[in-house]
Amino acid sequence: MRRALLALAFLALPVFLFLPASPTRADDIVSGISQNVIQIKSNYTGSDIVVFGSVENSRSSQGRDVVVVVRGPDARMTVRRRDRIAGVWVNSDAARFEGLPAYYYLASTQPVDRIAPPAALARYGVGIRYLYPSAVGSHHDPHFFLEAAKRHLKQVGLYAEAPGDIDFQSENLFSTHVPVPAAAPRGQYNVEVYLFRNGQVVSAQSTPLFVDATGLERQLYNLAHNAPLRYGLACVFMAMLLGWISSVLFRRPT
């Protein structure tokens, strides 16, 4: 309960991130999301949130781009490469990455490479290509391992890019749908909205989004982690009980 209240208090004030010094602070961006918390229930199959906002004090829509990035909690990733040794495919080399998000979604008014130069994109982590780990553990060039990690995450829908998928309701009002698949992990996400003008970030806003289990799912998860012995015993008891019940039900008089 206290955690929930804290979370609500935190949500009440959208966190304004980096605002770069700009001589004429003309463009500004204001954004919101359709829900601050995604609740995982027993029938959870993923979710869909709407990110919306408006560009204020805009002189013109020319040379202006909006990028919406949703970043999941960081994960530790291990990529292994298999090689054929004596006819058998064997894990022969591995690389470990830290500081990459477990979920990443990007929607933008056009492909990010046309919005800004690579250095600017890398600075803000805009675009799957421009995501770099904070720490690497590898004996060799980790490049192919990093590419492989991103390829796998794209395949399972945890990493996605949707260039051109931002709808403008009017000249300055925009919105976009962000799919959150069921495989996306629990934790704190960040919804970041960037306004680029002529390849420069002129305004940005970040809002937290929480993905968390509720009700029975949460209780079971907590029990498994906080009282593992009781949880394990409960599993064994349930298995034996069901085994016994079925044996009684199916008993045939002989």
Partner 1 sequence: MEIYLPVAEISVNWIVIVGLGTLVGFLSGMFGVGGGFLLTPLLVFTGIPSGVAVATTLSHVTASSMSGALAQWRKRAIDFPMAGVMLAGGLVGTGFGVWLFALMRRQGQMDLIVALSYVLLLGFIGAVMLRESLATLKASRDGAAAHLLHRGWFQGLPFKMRFRQSRLYISVIPPLAIGFAVGAMSAIMGIGGGFIIVPAMIYILRMPTNMVMGTSLVQIIGVTAVTTILQATSNYAVDIVLALLLVSGGVVGAQMGVRIGGKLRGEQIRLLMALVVLAVCAGLLWQLVARPSDVYSLTLEAP
Alpha carbons 163 and 111: distance in angstroms, whole number: 5
With CB under 8 A as the rule, give the number of residues binding partner 1.
Answer: 67
**Does residue 40 belong to the site contacting partner 1 (CB under 8 A)?**
yes
Q: How far is CA 149 from CA 93, 179, 192, in A?
A: 14, 20, 23
Tell me which residues in 168-227 interact with partner 1 (CB under 8 A): 182-183, 185-187, 213, 216-218, 220-221, 224-225
**Does residue 149 belong to the site contacting partner 1 (CB under 8 A)?**
yes
Tell me which residues in 75-114 interact with partner 1 (CB under 8 A): 75-84, 87-91, 94, 98, 102
In whole angstroms, the minimum distance from the beta carbon of 44 to partner 1 comes to 4
Local structure of 59: helix, strand or coil: coil
**Does residue 246 belong to the site contacting partner 1 (CB under 8 A)?**
yes
**Does residue 132 belong to the site contacting partner 1 (CB under 8 A)?**
no
In whole angstroms, the minimum distance from the beta carbon of 122 to partner 1 comes to 22
**What tokens appear for 23 in the block?**
């001589």
Alpha carbons 177 and 52: distance in angstroms, whole number: 9
Q: Identify the DSSP state of 160.
A: E
Alpha carbons 218 and 247: distance in angstroms, whole number: 32
Dihedral sign for Cα 223, 228, 230, 231, please: positive
By the criterion CB under 8 A, which residues form the site for partner 1?
A: 40-46, 73-84, 87-91, 94, 98, 102, 144-145, 148-149, 151-153, 182-183, 185-187, 213, 216-218, 220-221, 224-225, 228-229, 231-236, 238-240, 242-247, 250-251, 254
